[in-house]
A and B are shown apart, each in its own frame.
Chain A
């Protein structure tokens, strides 16, 4: 269910897309935060343009959750009922995202299931430019809580 906590999401939920302009500040801050020194992330050094680290698709996941899970806004600092634990990241890169471009992030929940007592959520996200060029496709697996489901209910 959209509109609540991240732990309310269910298989089949389709996110309302997020649209934003990629800024030099976003890219530099992120690259700096992970000590990524490749100059293409810090300056217009790739054929005169600056590009973002492809791992920033994970920030897009935060953005789309912020918009679609209004009771829990990690970017704004609001916690949900339990801390989630990121288990798997898988990004396919189709092309660079350049500073100054408008990016559109869309996606859905592909699965939710219990495995070895833990509650898992699977995501699929796509990032495209405003003119429809595919930048990144992304799947993600997250535990909704580290504690096993039965223990968390006690």
Chain B
């Protein structure tokens, strides 16, 4: 397995798209329980936190529950693995900043844009803006990614 799609056509200014996801309680529970299961190496069920419990979220100063930021980071990562394959795993980086909460019922869009393509000793270094926005175009997650792409050998 390597690149899912060719990055050869990704020039500066090219836009890429990742998953489109509705934020709902089930998705939040899937992530939170999976994270705990991975940490414990056994099936686990998330308990009360700011992502699952409205009362607790309000006590902590939020209007209600919200998606875990790592859900969005993972969907950005999905976009990068889909476009860059193993180059992203072996020589990539991803930064995400959770600048606004993603509350329930938002339709989240994962996006990216190529900012630069620079030659390196072994290939090409792609620098991208990466972000998540709601259906109105309001940015909720801002970030960037870099991937050094090397010719298939």
Chain A residues close to B by CB (< 8 Å): 20, 23, 25-27, 29-30, 32-36, 38-40, 45-46, 51, 53-56, 58-59, 62-63, 66, 75, 77, 79, 82-83, 85-96, 145-147, 151
Does A91 contact B93, Cβ atoms closer than 8 Å?
yes
- A34, A91, A147: the one contacting B31 at CB < 8 Å is A34
Does A38 contact B69, Cβ atoms closer than 8 Å?
no
**29 contacts across the A-B interface (CB closer than 8 A):** A30-B37, A30-B38, A32-B34, A33-B31, A33-B34, A34-B74, A34-B78, A35-B27, A35-B30, A38-B82, A40-B1, A53-B74, A54-B89, A56-B38, A59-B35, A66-B39, A75-B39, A82-B60, A86-B70, A86-B98, A87-B98, A90-B94, A92-B92, A93-B88, A93-B92, A94-B90, A95-B89, A146-B50, A146-B61
The CA-CA distance from A36 to B73 in the complex, in Å, is 12
- A36, A62, A90: the one contacting B74 at CB < 8 Å is A36
- List chain A residues, Cβ under 8 A from B98: 85-88
- List chain A residues, Cβ under 8 A from B41: 20, 23, 25-26
Interface string of B13-40 (1 = CB under 8 A from A): 0000001010000010011111111111
Q: Restricting to B69-120, which residues have a CB under 8 Å from any CB of A? A: 69-71, 73-75, 77-78, 81-82, 86, 88-98
What 8 pairs across the A-B complex have the smallest Cβ distances?
A33-B34, A34-B74, A90-B95, A30-B38, A29-B37, A26-B38, A92-B93, A147-B61
Does A54 contact B35, Cβ atoms closer than 8 Å?
no
- List chain B residues, Cβ under 8 A from A45: 1
How many chain B residues sit at the interface, stated as a range, is 35 or more
Report the minimal beta-carbon distance from A42 to chain B, rounded to whole angstroms.
11
- List chain A residues, Cβ under 8 A from B57: 83
Query: Given A54-B89, A77-B47: A38 and B33 within 8 A (CB)?
Result: no
Does A34 contact B91, Cβ atoms closer than 8 Å?
no
- B39, B60, B88: the one contacting A147 at CB < 8 Å is B60
- List chain A residues, Cβ under 8 A from B73: 55, 58, 89
Does B47 contact A83, Cβ atoms closer than 8 Å?
no
Is the contact region of chain A dominated by helix, strand, or loop, or is it mixed?
mixed
Does B47 contact A53, Cβ atoms closer than 8 Å?
no
Query: Given A33-B33, A38-B78, A92-B93: A83 and B49 within 8 A (CB)?
Result: yes
- List chain A residues, Cβ under 8 A from B27: 35
The CA-CA distance from A59 to B41 in the complex, in Å, is 11
- List chain B residues, Cβ under 8 A from A75: 36, 39-40
